[in-house]
Amino acid sequence: MDETIRQGFFADRTKLNLEDYLIFDYYFESTINPEQAAAHLCQEQSTAQWKRVGVDEDLRQRFGAKVIELFVERELDKPSYPQLVPSDLKSYGCRVKIAHPHGNFGPKLPNLLSAACGEGTFFSKGISVIKLFDIEFPDSFLRHFEGPQFGIEGLRDILDVHDRPLFFGVIKPNIGLSPEPFAELAYQGWLGGLDIAKDDEMLGDVEWSSLQERAKLLGRARLKSEKETGQKKIYLANITDEVDRLIDLHDIAVAGGANALLVNGMTTGLSAVRMLRKHAQVPLVGHLPFIAAFTRAPYLGVHSKLITKLQRLVGFDVIIMPGFGERMKTPENEVLLNIQECFKPLGHLKKALPVPAGSQWAGSTPALYEKLKTIDFGIVPGRGVFQHPMGPKAGAASLRQAWEAFQNRLTLEAYSRDHPELKAAIEAFDK
């Protein structure tokens, strides 16, 4: 490799002021010398050209991205995605850490993503596939971000529930009901024991169910259920919409009686969530549309755990994510990494509540607790509550009963003998 290139784009980590750098962690496969490929990667994502013609200068020292760690993880007879490059090329599967000077763009998410997953990343010479696994943030960068406003503790305070997982329920039928019957379903769910009744991520502000009307009716139903149960409740309204409506829809929903708001962050853009966070009076909940499109391929795109980290960074208090089980097509280890991202130390940022989703029912709570060994999670059944054969009130009751059984060290079967709601749930949903 050209020695000038090496000097400009490789650095000794101990000689850098790490407060000035983000660390990008990639897996890539190169069909050329890995060091050369890694240097190209740095060049393309920062100072592609570092001097003017005829001027003696080198902008790389301050502005160049720099390789601080590189190793060949495996050698491959052919690339992992032979559809993308000639399949007979010997490839090196490499792990690289790059120190990228954040002063190149500042504490701004769209610009961060442009640097970390832009043209420089995906179109770098000699690299056939690449996946961004992680970004490490120094405090100098993190302090510009608000993060969750409420966090797990703030959310628990609103509900006054501190000793168990939280019970979300997706009101179903999710699409097509007018606000009145929809509110009745939520009401039944709350009476039965839901903490949080939520709009489906597909249900927005629509002509046949305006957010204004829906928030008003569900807000009213929420207060009624609080009075009758003596428990605090949350109506989680989905305000996902064009970004120039998010602030207005926040105000409309909160005025109506929603006390938490759902946004499909990757479809609005995470920057819009950050904007909303600055204005928000209630907890914000992130949902998962679009994320699988760029996280699912094992060696291409972005790792989902980083998206969870970014969702926390922009201020989601709760992150609904793909959970365990075949339908969610997410390796168990990846689910666990995503859950950990909600809890990990991250500067001054509060923790977010993870809600691993996917075809849940009463039995999911104990099962999740067994895996996670913490009560700091939510479950979010839809049909498991609202298609319960005895109706949504019974569906919600079955969630509580399953947790009671677990606390009393009884099997669900044993506890279901004098709890018909749980019994019916086992019969309908335990597959």
What character string, x for contact with a second copy (CB under 8 A) and - otherwise, covers 56-85?
Answer: ---x--xx-----------------x-xxx
3-state secondary structure of 235: strand
CB of 103 to a second copy, least distance (A): 7
Query: Could you tell me the two tokens for 357?
Result: 């989703």
Whole-number minimum distance, CB 213 to a second copy, in Å?
15
- DSSP SS3 for 354: strand
* 142 is a site residue for a second copy (CB under 8 A): no
Residue placing its CB nearer to a second copy in the complex, 173 or 347: 173
Which of 66, 287, 351, 393 is catalytic? The answer is 287
Helix and strand numbers, DSSP H then E, in the chain:
20, 13
Instruction: Using the minimum distance from each CB to a second copy, give the nearer residue, 106 or 374.
Output: 106
Under rule CB under 8 A, which residues in 351-390 are in contact with a second copy?
357-358, 382-383, 386-390
Least spacing, CB of residue 83 vs a second copy, in Å? 4
- The dihedral of CA 422, 157, 310, 133: what is its sign? negative
β-pair type (196-198, 260-263): unpaired
Q: How far is CA 81 from CA 125, 238, 301, 397, in A?
A: 16, 38, 13, 48
Under rule CB under 8 A, residue 212 binds a second copy: no
Residue 10 or 294 having the CB closest to a second copy? 294
Strand order in the sheet with 127-136: 66-76, 91-101, 21-30, 127-136, 301-302
Of 12-31, which residues contact a second copy (CB under 8 A)?
A: none
In whole angstroms, the minimum distance from the beta carbon of 224 to a second copy comes to 19
Question: Residue 91 in contact with residue 79, Cβ under 8 Å?
Answer: yes
Please tell me the distance from the alpha carbon of residue 302 to that of residue 304, in angstroms, as a whole number. 6
Select from 37, 177, 258, 405 the one that contacts a second copy (CB under 8 A): 177
Contact criterion met (CB below 8 Å) for 310 and 323:
no
String marking each residue 32-61 x if it binds a second copy according to CB under 8 A: -------------xxxxxxxxxx----x--
Per DSSP, the residues of 125-173 read TTEEEEEEEEEE--HHHHTT----SSHHHHHHHHHT--SS-EEEEE-SS
Residue from 264, 311, 401, 416 in contact with a second copy (CB under 8 A): 264
Q: Minimal distance in Å, beta carbon 82 to a second copy? A: 10
> Residue 390's CB: how many other CB atoms inside 10 A?
16
Of 165 and 265, nearer to a second copy (C-beta) is 265
Which residue among 91, 268, 304, 365 contacts a second copy (CB under 8 A)? 268
Give the active site residue among 66, 102, 172, 198.
Answer: 172
Which 384-403 positions form the footprint of a second copy (CB under 8 A)? 386-392
Copy the structure tokens of residue 143: 């302090």
Q: Contacts with a second copy in 298-327 (CB under 8 A)?
A: 298, 300-302, 322, 327
Decide whether 75 or 244 has the Cβ nearer to a second copy.
244
By the rule CB under 8 A, 111 interacts with a second copy: yes
Residues 6 or more apart in contact with residue 54 via CB below 8 angstroms = none
Closest CA to 129 of 298, 304, 333, 303: 298
Q: Which span (151-159, 260-268, 339-347, 407-415) binds a second copy, by CB under 8 A?
A: 260-268
Residues across the chain? 431
Binding segment for a second copy (CB under 8 A), chosen from 6-14, 18-26, 251-259, 262-270, is: 262-270
Q: Which residues contact 221 (CB under 8 A, 6 or more apart)?
A: 183, 184, 186, 187, 190, 235
Give residues with Cβ within 8 angstroms of 289, minimum separation 6.
201, 264, 266, 267
Q: Is 172 a catalytic residue?
A: yes
Q: Phi then psi for 237, rounded to 5 degrees?
A: -95, 140
* Residues 80-109 close enough to bind a second copy by CB under 8 A: 81, 83-85, 103-106, 108-109
Q: Is 423 a catalytic residue?
A: no
Among 97, 198, 274, 305, binds a second copy (CB under 8 A): 274
What CA–CA distance (Å, rounded) separates 71 from 351? 33
- Kindly determine how many residues on this chain lie close enough to bind a second copy according to the rule CB under 8 A: 97
Nearer to a second copy, 304 or 401 (CB): 304
Task: In angstroms, give the least distance from the CB of 147 to a second copy.
Answer: 15
Cite the active site residues.
Answer: 172, 287
